[in-house]
Amino acid sequence: MSPLSYSYSPSALVASYEHLKAQEQDLLQRTSSDSAMTMNSSQRIVVAATQITGAGLRDSDVSGFCFRAERAIELAVRQGANLVLLPELWNAPYFCQSQEAILMDLADPVENNVLIRRMQRLAQIYNVVLPVSIFERKNNALYNSVVVIDADGSLLGTYRKSHIPDGTGYQEKFYFTPGDTGFRVFDTKVGKVGVAICWDQWFPEAARALALQGADVLLYPTAIGSEPQDPTLSSVDHWQRTMQGHSAANMVPVVASNRFGTEILQHPDGTEKQRIHFYGRSFVTNNTGEKIAECADNSDPEEPVTIVTAEIDPEQNRRDRAAWGLFRDRRPELYQILLTKDGNM
Amino acid sequence: MSPLSYSYSPSALVASYEHLKAQEQDLLQRTSSDSAMTMNSSQRIVVAATQITGAGLRDSDVSGFCFRAERAIELAVRQGANLVLLPELWNAPYFCQSQEAILMDLADPVENNVLIRRMQRLAQIYNVVLPVSIFERKNNALYNSVVVIDADGSLLGTYRKSHIPDGTGYQEKFYFTPGDTGFRVFDTKVGKVGVAICWDQWFPEAARALALQGADVLLYPTAIGSEPQDPTLSSVDHWQRTMQGHSAANMVPVVASNRFGTEILQHPDGTEKQRIHFYGRSFVTNNTGEKIAECADNSDPEEPVTIVTAEIDPEQNRRDRAAWGLFRDRRPELYQILLTKDGNM
């Protein structure tokens, strides 16, 4: 070789740069989306998707829902989960079937919330991350929110559902103010967790916003089932494909936990007013949108709680995404139309 | 009934409003995304996805590619298609396998382009819409473009590929300037057609921008196959799921036409330098992301051209989307992060 030639290998080069950074560790300020790939390189997230029904509980007993949720968490932890996702508004029947002002009494502030208190205790006992769906009261507005509890029981913060549906059986605009938090990624002890809630799952913008901020996994607590105005319509495959698409396009795993079973709303005289069959089918994808774990559409009353678990390798997923080049090639200057409903650029 | 009561039915109300509008037809200026739903209410789009290989052609003969493309169009028209989508850069082997400055001579301006001329004649003869992928020269920059030819042979305009990939075997950044047209919907005689090109198909922003502008269908001419640096990697299912997701989230059908067969790049001495197996699997979805037509990964040299057709009902799809409420519930004020690569809101 000439005196001006020298050789290098890609892997030795990267190792050398990691060595330099390790020497100056204290100088580094890492942001969530730009963490060095080798941080926590051995850490896996073991997620659990769950589904819970209130079938068989007497008088819609809220304590019964809580016991079942706690059982789901315990089952999942026994199978190795370090992050368990409960369904949306898991502590009661889906009360948005109809518009009833009295049901707004179910909302409580984060600071004074027995559900969160119980879940904090469980998180600490089991060393598990618990993103918990609640009906939140704040400044006398009501939100559909998720509070993220870290594996030591501490509160990491709140996300408020951004997209609020409205349709027969799903009267959410009556109850919930559209969320004001924007899309948030929480830096938990097991990884960076992007949280969205049910109807948010239909919006590619929400998934993208979370992936851009460095989410290692997207979580969707959910309450979706039949459409009372059209019993022939089943959205279940459409629902799964939409989230599989977010997973595929952002190269990030998705976890969706849905309730299951049939919830029958009564008239004051006890006769049936309306019903929804919640279809379950909670699932987890890998980083290409492929389903790698899925619960059945289970209507067996002997099994009011179902869980599945799956393992996520955040470091490998970050490498796969970087190699594929998708985020490199975005063209934000062309996306202005996404920010305005009238489409004027 | 009291003198102040009157009854109405939703369908009679809508019919009455349509009647009023028909009386004042000449006053109405309709924009693409807000067209009255009853316009062209009986019109269906019959789309054809195609796939073409150059296998068996002597010396990469460009005329041979043209004959095959024209045969694909004729076959599709005979099956009732009024819109036929050819694959990306269908008139030659996928020349971006390597970086060769001489290959830039394949680019021509729209105004002086024998491929477009031939396709205009076919569009007119067969009364078919032809979105045609070309290697475009404009102001001495080169673009990966689609020219949309209406069913009467007239040119409706050009879209230039916005997202340009770069990787082993797919050296597009060497050839193509990133497109400057933004995302465009073309108002053809059969419906409103949103066009994107290959790598664009991985970006939810592109699909959303087209759907917001009122596209009745999204078209993706494509050239994708194996990854020369990693023969174990197959992107085909990931590729389909990503576009199925765009279809599901925007409730709009998607058509993807891919090339197929193995293209072997030679060294000057005739030995093999590199190969790509293009996997075909061209497909069409309905408005929930479900595949309703699909070509095989066909390697039979007897069949260098494959087509499938499917029918789209734009009016029904617009009604389904409005009823589902997705576009109603968008939150553009929360999407600022999508417009900036550094994520500062």
Whether pLDDT at A94 is above 60:
yes
Say whether A167 and B325 touch across the interface (CB within 8 A): yes
Three-state SS at A206: helix
Torsion of CA A45, A46, A51, A52, to 10 degrees: -100
Q: Which residue of A has its CA nearest to B32?
A: A343
Give the mean model confidence (pLDDT) for residues A159-173. Answer: 97
Specify the DSSP element, H or E, that contains A255. Answer: strand A254-258
Q: What is the pLDDT of residue A301?
A: 60
B332: Cα separation from own chain's centroid: 26
Q: What is the DSSP letter of A336?
A: G
Nearest neighbour of A241 by CB, restricted to B203, B237, B245: B245
Catalytic member of A161, A172, A192, A263 = A161
Whether pLDDT at A235 is above 50:
yes
The per-residue DSSP string of A98-145 comes to S--GGGGGG-B-GGG-HHHHHHHHHHHHHT-BEEEEEEEEETTEEEEE
Say whether B340 and A332 touch across the interface (CB within 8 A): yes
Q: Nearest-CA distance from B251 to chain A in Å?
A: 9
Say whether B238 and A288 touch across the interface (CB within 8 A): yes
Strands B45-52, B83-85: pairing is parallel
Q: Which residue of A has its CA nearest to B336?
A: A339
Catalytic member of B96, B136, B192, B198 = B198
Q: What is chain A's mean pLDDT, rounded?
A: 92
Catalytic, B96? Answer no
Distance CA(B21)–CA(B259), nearest Å, equals 46
How many contacts (CB atoms, under 8 Å) link A and B? 172
Say whether B246 and A249 touch across the interface (CB within 8 A): yes
Three-state SS at A334: helix
Say whether B241 and A290 touch across the interface (CB within 8 A): yes
Strands A192-195, A184-187: pairing is antiparallel
Q: Which residues of B touch A247 (CB under 8 A)?
A: 241, 245
Residue A204 burial (CB < 10 Å; 0-12/13-18/19+)? buried
Residues in chain B: 345
Quick one: which of A53, A117, A44 has its CA closest to A81?
A: A44
Strands A83-85, A45-52: pairing is parallel
Say whether A338 and B343 touch across the interface (CB within 8 A): no
From residue A89, give the alpha-carbon distance in Å to each of A338, B123, B276: 30, 55, 50
Three-state SS at A264: strand
Residue that the structure tokens 């899309």 belong to: A183
Distance CA(A338)–CA(A208), nearest Å, equals 12
DSSP bridge pairs for A141: A138
| Distance linking the first and last C-alpha atoms of chain A | 57
Catalytic, B341? Answer no
Nearest neighbour of A334 by CB, restricted to B162, B289, B329: B162
Instruction: Assess contact for B112 and B85: CB atoms under 8 A.
Output: no
Give the mean model confidence (pLDDT) for residues A230-256. Answer: 97
Three-state SS at A160: strand
- What interhelical angle do B204-212 and A204-212 show, nearest 10? 150
Catalytic member of B96, B136, B161, B263 = B161
Say whether B249 and A338 touch across the interface (CB within 8 A): no
Sign of CA dihedral B169, B173, B176, B180: positive
Catalytic member of A172, A198, A295, A315 = A198
Give the mean model confidence (pLDDT) for residues A262-282. Answer: 94
Whether pLDDT at A231 is above 70:
yes
Q: Which residue of B has its CA nearest to A288?
A: B238
Structure ipTM: 0.90
Catalytic, B295? Answer no
pLDDT tens-digit readout, B81-110:
999 999 999 999 999 999 999 999 999 999
Strands B291-294, B283-285: pairing is antiparallel
pLDDT tens-digit readout, A106-145:
999 999 899 999 999 999 999 999 999 999 999 999 999 9
The per-residue DSSP string of A33-92 comes to GG--TTTTTT--EEEEEEEE--TT-GGG-HHHHHHHHHHHHHHHHHTT-SEEEPPTTTTS
* Band (A257; pLDDT cuts 50, 70, 90): very high
Q: Which residues of B touch A323 (CB under 8 A)?
A: 167
Token pair recorded at residue A301 = 């009353």
Q: Which residue of B has its CA nearest to A247?
A: B242
Say whether A204 and B202 touch across the interface (CB within 8 A): no
Give the mean model confidence (pLDDT) for residues A312-332. Answer: 95
From residue B151, give the alpha-carbon distance in Å to each of B38, B127, B128, B157, B216: 22, 5, 4, 13, 16
Q: What is the pLDDT of residue B314?
A: 97
Specify the DSSP element, H or E, that contains A15. Answer: helix A10-23
Distance CA(A241)–CA(B243), nearest Å, equals 10
Distance CA(B251)–CA(A46), nearest Å, equals 33
Q: What is the pLDDT of residue A37?
A: 45
Q: Which residue of A has its CA nearest to B235?
A: A288
Whether pLDDT at A293 is above 90:
yes
> Which of A30, A171, A199, A205 is best to mutate for the B interface (most B CBs within 10 A)?
A205
Q: Which residue of A has its CA nearest to B342?
A: A212
Distance CA(A205)–CA(B337), nearest Å, equals 9
Q: Which residue of B has its CA nearest to A235?
A: B288
Token pair recorded at residue B6 = 């009157």
Distance CA(A335)–CA(A313), nearest Å, equals 31
Quick one: which of B263, B288, B282 has its CA closest to B274?
A: B263
Instruction: Assess contact for B186 and B195: CB atoms under 8 A.
Output: yes
* Band (A299; pLDDT cuts 50, 70, 90): low
In SS3 terms, chain B reads as CCCCCCCCCHHHHHHHHHHHHHHCHHHCCCCHHHCCCCCCCCCCEEEEEEEECCCCCHHHCHHHHHHHHHHHHHHHHHCCCCEEECCCCCCCCCHHHCCCHHHHHHCECHHHCHHHHHHHHHHHHHCCEEEEEEEEEECCEEEEEEEEECCCCCEEEEEECCCCCCECCECHHHHCCCCCCCCCEEECCCCEEEECCHHHHHCHHHHHHHHHCCCCEEEEEECCECCCCCCCCCCHHHHHHHHHHHHHHHCCCEEEEECEEEEEEECCCCCEEEEEEEECCCEEECCCCCEEEECCCCCCCCCCEEEEEEEECHHHHHHHHHHHCCCCCCCHHHCHHHHCCCCCC
Q: Nearest-CA distance from A209 to chain B in Å?
A: 6
Distance CA(B49)–CA(B260), nearest Å, equals 13
Whether pLDDT at A38 is above 50:
no
Distance CA(A309)–CA(A72), nearest Å, equals 11
Say whether B329 and A238 touch across the interface (CB within 8 A): no
Distance CA(B241)–CA(B259), nearest Å, equals 18
Q: What is the pLDDT of residue B2?
A: 81
Strands B260-266, B272-279: pairing is antiparallel
Whether pLDDT at A200 is above 80:
yes
Q: Nearest-CA distance from A32 to chain B in Å?
A: 11
Nearest neighbour of A245 by CB, restricted to B244, B331, B334: B244
DSSP bridge pairs for B84: B48
Percent of chain A with pLDDT over 70: 92
Q: Which amino acid is at A28?
A: L
Instruction: Assess contact for B338 and A209: CB atoms under 8 A.
Output: yes
Q: Which residues of B touch A334 (CB under 8 A)?
A: 162, 182-183, 205, 209
Q: Which residues of B touch A178 (CB under 8 A)?
A: 331
Q: What is the DSSP letter of A93?
A: S
- Rg, Å, chain A Cα set: 22
Say whether B338 and A336 touch across the interface (CB within 8 A): no
Q: Which residues of A touch B326 (CB under 8 A)?
A: 202-203
Q: Which residues of A touch B205 (CB under 8 A)?
A: 204, 208, 330-331, 334-335, 338
Nearest neighbour of B325 by CB, restricted to A165, A333, A335: A165
Quick one: which of A212, A215, A233 has its CA closest to A224?
A: A233
Phi, psi (degrees; rounded to nearest 5) at B244:
-60, -35
Residue B176: count of CB within 10 angstroms of its CB: 24
Q: What is the pLDDT of residue B28?
A: 63
Say whether B339 and A332 touch across the interface (CB within 8 A): yes
What residues in chain B have per-residue pLDDT under 70? 1, 26-42, 298-301, 341-345
From residue A176, give the alpha-carbon distance in Å to each of A248, A274, B8, B63: 30, 21, 31, 62
Q: What is the pLDDT of residue B187?
A: 97
Q: Nearest-CA distance from B185 to chain A in Å?
A: 13
Distance CA(A68)–CA(B185), nearest Å, equals 50
Q: Which residues of B touch A166 (CB under 8 A)?
A: 325, 329
Distance CA(A204)–CA(A182), nearest Å, equals 14
Contacts with A12 (C-beta within 8 Å, 6 or more apart), sequence order: none
Q: What is the pLDDT of residue A39?
A: 46
From residue A186, give the alpha-carbon distance in Å to each of A20, A33, A149: 28, 11, 10
